[in-house]
Amino acid sequence: MILKFILLGTICLSTPDQSTKCNQYMVNNLIDGPGCRFKSKQIGIRVKDQIKEIEGSMASYDVHCIAIDNKGYNIDHSFKISYNIL
């Protein structure tokens, strides 16, 4: 039985001066896989809009939804999402 999901995300952006910066974040205690996917999409859209405000561009966005059961990490229910940046 899956107890929770942990969302680990990495967002890389290109700044106007042509440098690349990456940040990581974590969201704990998500109820299920679809909730993890939904939360990652919300965060990605919000951050992409913030990056546009500084005239940068999102270079990459990768997310891992890690399933946790009563024994710890559950590889069978964990998944990775890679977003295409357009």
How would you class 42 by CB atoms within 10 Å of its CB: exposed for 0-12, middle for 13-18, buried for 19 or more? exposed
Q: What is the pTM of this model?
A: 0.86
pLDDT the model gives residue 68: 96
**Spatial separation of the C-alpha atoms in residues 71 and 29, rounded to whole Å:** 16
pLDDT the model gives residue 18: 86
List the domain boundaries for the chain.
2-83
Phi then psi dihedrals of residue 56, to 5 deg: -105, -175
pLDDT in tens, 40-82: 999 999 999 999 999 999 999 999 999 999 999 999 999 999 8
Res. 16 pLDDT band, cuts 50 70 90? confident
